[in-house]
Amino acid sequence: MAISVFDLFKIGIGPSSSHTVGPMRAAALFLGTLRERRLLERVQRVEVRLYGSLSATGIGHGSDTAVVMGLMGDWPDQIDPAQIAPRIAALRDSGQLLLDGNLPVAFDWARDMLLLDENLPYHPNAMTLTAFAADGSELSSGTYYSVGGGFVVDAEQAATGQLDQDHTQLPYDFSSGDELLRLCKEHGLRVSELMMANEKAWRSEAEIRSGLMRLWQAMRDCVEQGLAHEGILPGGLNVKRRAAKLHRSLQEMSKPNVIGSTLSGMEWVNLFALAVN
């Protein structure tokens, strides 16, 4: 199973890996294509077309905003979420999108952010990005599919049906839990040791441990943010934040050990889920 822990666990803005993280990555990839083809300086307008599920539920999941932030050069694991709202507000006021963070191009939200009631062939989470020159001619266009978990494929890759193009040879390849346990027993390894050996097919142990600590810190930060803020969640659906209130109620319980109760224990699990979302 040639998949890394850093593919399974991705740092990114919420609320959805397929509707938020994936679209931002797709837009950033499109921006990279423009950069590689030396077209950035010629772009005067960008059009975004969201299809299928991205169109139907994208507003509530922030798909439109995520695409715009990707076009501005941001990646979901590097962006400061607190900066999104003011930057989007500035774009709407000015009618200019800062392509790659510093190149102003015209962007009319009603004209250039199109939510279309149609599906593309390979996946319901589809989007097409098109860059235009000053004379209105098309400079470049790309169609991308956000296939879940933050993974993104372009139209060419989707047409092949081979979504996984990582052919890294792992020292201990497995495709089921039974195979994993058999390999551990056969080679005298703990699960953690076997997985570390596999991860080292992609990067050094120092990079792996540093990356894991970054993931853990991101999880801790999400929980702390969830417990510190109240009010309404962003996205326009008027969903109330509940983690802070639930946390206070659990702390105020008179039982000496709230985890000692199965019900209370589940409430703490629920609290974690609410806090990270």
C-alpha dist (Å) from residue 248 to 223, 252, 264: 14, 6, 13
Question: Which range has the top average pLDDT, 55-69, 129-143, 239-253, 262-276?
Answer: 129-143
C-alpha dist (Å) from residue 276 to 7, 10, 87, 180: 19, 13, 23, 30
CA separation for the pair 32, 38 (Å, rounded): 10
**Token reading at 174:** 């497995």
C-alpha dist (Å) from residue 183 to 117, 144, 148, 174, 200: 48, 37, 29, 8, 17
Please state the φ and ψ torsions of residue 166, each to the nearest 5 degrees: -90, 110
Residue owning tokens 């076997």:
194
Q: List where CATH 3.30.1330.90 sits in the chain.
A: 5-160
**Token reading at 176:** 């089921």
Cβ neighbors of 33 (< 8 A, separation 6 or more) are: 140, 142
Q: Binning pLDDT at 50, 70 and 90, where does residue 255 land?
A: low
Residue 194 identity: L
The model's pLDDT over 213-251, given as tens digits with 9 standing for 90+, comes to 999 999 998 888 888 888 887 766 678 888 888 888 877
Long-range contacts of the stretch 170-176 (C-beta < 8 A, 24+): 170/1, 170/2, 170/198, 170/201, 171/197, 171/198, 171/201, 172/197, 172/198, 173/1, 173/2, 174/1, 175/1
Torsion-angle region of residue 231: left (phi > 0), alpha (psi -120 to 50) or beta? left
The model's pLDDT over 9-34, given as tens digits with 9 standing for 90+, comes to 888 888 888 999 999 999 999 999 99
pLDDT above 90 for 70 = yes
Domain 5-160 has CATH 3.30.1330.90: yes
